[in-house]
């Protein structure tokens, strides 16, 4: 790890002052913000980033607040995954968010890892994580996963990069209709969390979200979900702890056994949390039986283009969707 200057600002004004300018795309990684550090320290140790300055956000008051509101929840960027997982009222109202938080990493990682860090973490693709592999994510010319070993890569939304977004919280928060509060040099802005994440074909291919070099994620606001039932179902190669091979965040409103509203977002299959709007529409008015699970699974994975080594993700994701819906039917 290269040495750096460590800065401990005590306000968001100071934080954004320390960040590069909004258009300093080439030099943006000279300054990195530190939250829980569970992703950043890995990047520093592998020399994927070598910042001159590391700006610790923990001195800024209020960023770790987790507040229930009449209109929903305000989740500060520095709220730990453990705090989300352990909050019993959040678990009751937004089950999928608590379940997703609890499925991240290990106990040790959840005790330090934060919501902001989980949403802004960099990809886990082994080509990206390899110091010597200058892939398209790191400004190189090609995605080595595309023609290489791509067991863990995208089956949906890929190209020109085929990473999958590694966050467990992202699908659950997108399914909950969350918005992201962002602070930059020019002030605050809010973005629907679904629009926060960018496909490599539409945003900068070396980034995974809309944050400009001068911006930092401050808070996530989650609307109330009265009358909804939700769950997060994740499949991992190692049961002790691991990133998702595929995952499903599902939320439903039911009336007399029939679905009246639905949200379905997949994790681990695309460069962004993958919203399945067609499948959501198809769910409305249906009973949660085997036929519904089959139809919804087909629609959710429509357009999937597996690479050489990841076609297993298709039946896996369909199976997880069926599992999630069946779980909600009996919840």
Partner 1 sequence: MSDAASPPEAKSSPEPRSGSQAKPALTRRAFFKGAGVVAAGGVIGEAVSAANARAYGPATLEGTVEVELDINGAKQKVTLEPRTTLLNALRNHCNPPLTGTKLVCDRGSCGACTVHLDGRPVYSCMTLAVDTVGHKVKTIEGLSPRGELTVLQQKFCEHDGSQCGFCTPGFVMAITACLERNPAASLDEIQNACSGNLCRCGTQPQIFEAALAAGRALQAKGGK
Q: Which residues bind partner 1 (CB under 8 A)?
A: 1-11, 14, 18, 34, 37-38, 41-42, 44-45, 54, 56, 58-59, 82, 105-109, 111-112, 240-241
CB of 36 to partner 1, least distance (A): 9
Nearer to partner 1, 183 or 207 (CB): 183
Burial of 226 (0-12, 13-18, 19+ CB in 10 A): exposed
Q: How far apart are CA 316 and CA 247, in angstroms?
A: 9
Q: How many angstroms from the chain centroid is the CA of residue 100? A: 10
Nearer to partner 1, 45 or 294 (CB): 45
Q: How far apart are CA 123 and CA 166, in angstroms?
A: 6
Residue 64 Cα distances to 1, 35, 84, 195, angstroms? 28, 10, 11, 23
CB of 102 to partner 1, least distance (A): 9
Q: How far apart are CA 105 and CA 121, in angstroms?
A: 13
Nearer to partner 1, 12 or 252 (CB): 12
Contact status, residue 271 vs residue 254, Cβ threshold 8 Å: no
3-state secondary structure of 84: helix
Contact status, residue 307 vs residue 145, Cβ threshold 8 Å: yes
Nearer to partner 1, 120 or 283 (CB): 120
Q: How far apart are CA 114 and CA 33, in angstroms?
A: 12
CB of 25 to partner 1, least distance (A): 24
Nearer to partner 1, 86 or 298 (CB): 86
Neighbours of 306 (CB within 10 A): 18
CB of 20 to partner 1, least distance (A): 16
CB of 105 to partner 1, least distance (A): 7
CB of 19 to partner 1, least distance (A): 12
Nearer to partner 1, 59 or 203 (CB): 59
């Amino acid at each position: 790890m290269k040495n750096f200057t460590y800065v401990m600002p005590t306000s968001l004004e100071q934080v954004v002052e320390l960040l590069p300018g909004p258009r300093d795309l080439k030099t943006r990684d000279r300054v990195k913000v530190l939250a829980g550090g569970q992703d950043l320290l890995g990047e520093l140790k592998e020399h994927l980033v070598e910042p001159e300055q590391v700006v610790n956000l923990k001195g800024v008051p209020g960023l770790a607040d987790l507040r229930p509101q009449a209109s929903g929840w305000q989740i500060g960027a520095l709220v730990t995954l453990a705090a989300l997982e352990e909050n019993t009222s959040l678990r009751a109202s937004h089950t999928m968010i608590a379940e997703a938080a609890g499925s991240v990493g290990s106990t040790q990682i959840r005790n330090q890892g934060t919501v902001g860090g989980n949403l802004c973490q960099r990809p886990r693709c082994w080509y990206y994580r390899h110091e010597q592999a200058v892939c398209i994510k790191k400004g190189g010319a090609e995605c080595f996963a595309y023609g290489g070993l791509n067991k863990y890569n995208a089956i949906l939304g890929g190209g020109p990069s085929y990473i999958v977004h590694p966050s467990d919280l992202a699908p659950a928060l997108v399914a909950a209709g969350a918005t992201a509060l962002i602070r930059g040099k020019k002030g605050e802005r809010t973005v629907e969390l679904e629009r926060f994440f960018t496909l490599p074909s539409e945003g900068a291919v070396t980034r995974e979200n809309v944050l400009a070099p001068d911006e930092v994620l401050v808070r996530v606001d989650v609307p109330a979900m009265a009358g909804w039932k939700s769950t997060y179902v994740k499949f991992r190669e190692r049961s002790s702890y691991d990133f998702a091979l595929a995952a499903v965040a599902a939320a439903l409103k039911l009336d007399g056994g029939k679905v009246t509203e639905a949200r379905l977002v997949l994790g681990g299959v695309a460069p962004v949390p993958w919203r399945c709007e067609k499948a959501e529409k198809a769910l409305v008015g249906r009973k949660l039986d085997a036929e519904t699970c089959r139809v919804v699974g087909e629609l959710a994975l429509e357009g999937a283009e597996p690479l050489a080594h990841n076609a297993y993700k298709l039946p896996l994701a369909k199976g997880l969707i069926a599992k999630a819906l069946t779980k909600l039917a009996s919840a």
